[in-house]
A = this chain, B = another copy of it.
Amino acid sequence: MGNDGVQTELLIKEKAKILFFQKGLLNATTQQIADEAGVNRALIHYYFRSRDLMLDLLLEETLQEKKARTRAFLVSDLSFREKIARFIDAVVDWGLNYPYLDNFIISETARNPDKIKSFCAKDNVKSSDLIREGLEAEIKKGAIAPISAEHFMVNLVAMCNYPLLAKSVLQTIHGMTDAAYQKFLHERKNVIYASIFNEDMPKIYEKNGN
């Protein structure tokens, strides 16, 4: 047989993810993807049938991986504060690789609201349910001001994700170099943790700090 098909398929997916989720090119054409991967455009149809099907697959895979890397900490048997610390760490680190993933999902969802529903249908456990117990304990202790689990999670995810999403905008507004923005994002891990618990994040989790 000719070449190894599996490798080519992986290559195309890899490069497509870079275009969509890393570079934020929401409307990357099949030609652009093929160029990025250095293969003939027809191969995209050979392996994925159509551009849309490839997008579905990429989203499916990538969301699965993100969930495994981030949400996993919330279902662990770590202490509440450790859960949150590791979650922040993981979400920011993940976002440094694929800053535009959320942006992509949001746009796709606007275009086709039903698509996101099928993705969400798979995990019917809301992340807010995973931290409710621990959160309420902290509230009872007086360590955190009263807040619902839903609002708490939205605050948390918002503070982690927004600066990743809006990277290019914030970077321009604040006149930061790429390096400065990277540093800013790593600082944020501690800032977010501190804004919740009013104390510094355990040093262990600042592994990528600059």
Q: Which of A's residues lie within 8 Å of B, judged by CB?
A: 23-27, 100, 102-103, 105-107, 109-111, 113, 116-117, 120, 126-128, 145, 147-148, 150-151, 154-155, 157-159, 161-163, 165-166, 168-170, 172-174, 184, 187-188, 191-192, 194-195, 198
Give Cα A166 to B102, complex, Å: 8
Q: A150-B174, A158-B163 are in contact. Are A107 and B103 (CB under 8 A)?
A: yes
User: Which residues of chain B are near A151, meaning CB under 8 Å?
Assistant: 187-188, 191
Give Cα A111 to B157, complex, Å: 25
Give Cα A128 to B170, complex, Å: 11
Quick one: copies of this chain in the complex? 2
Q: Is the interface of A mostly helix, strand, loop or mixed?
A: helix
**Cβ 8 A contact of A110, one of B23, B110, B192:** B23
Inter-subunit contact A154/B147 (CB<8 Å): no
Having A26-B107, A109-B168, one finds 8 other A-B pairs with CB under 8 Å, namely: A25-B111, A106-B166, A106-B169, A113-B168, A116-B169, A120-B172, A127-B173, A155-B191
User: Which residues of chain B are near A157, meaning CB under 8 Å?
Assistant: 162
Q: A145-B195, A194-B145, A195-B145 are in contact. Are A173 and B126 (CB under 8 A)?
A: yes
Closest 4 CB pairs of A and B: A24-B110, A158-B162, A109-B168, A158-B158
Q: A23-B110, A151-B188 are in contact. Are A116 and B159 (CB under 8 A)?
A: no
Inter-subunit contact B170/A107 (CB<8 Å): no
User: Which residues of chain B are near A113, meaning CB under 8 Å?
Assistant: 168, 172
Give Cα A163 to B126, complex, Å: 16
Give Cα A202 to B174, complex, Å: 31
Q: List 21 A-B contacts (CB under 8 A).
A: A25-B111, A100-B106, A102-B165, A102-B166, A102-B169, A109-B168, A109-B172, A116-B169, A116-B172, A120-B172, A120-B173, A145-B194, A147-B191, A151-B188, A154-B159, A157-B162, A158-B158, A158-B159, A159-B159, A162-B162, A162-B165
Give Cα A195 to B172, complex, Å: 28
Give Cα A178 to B54, complex, Å: 31
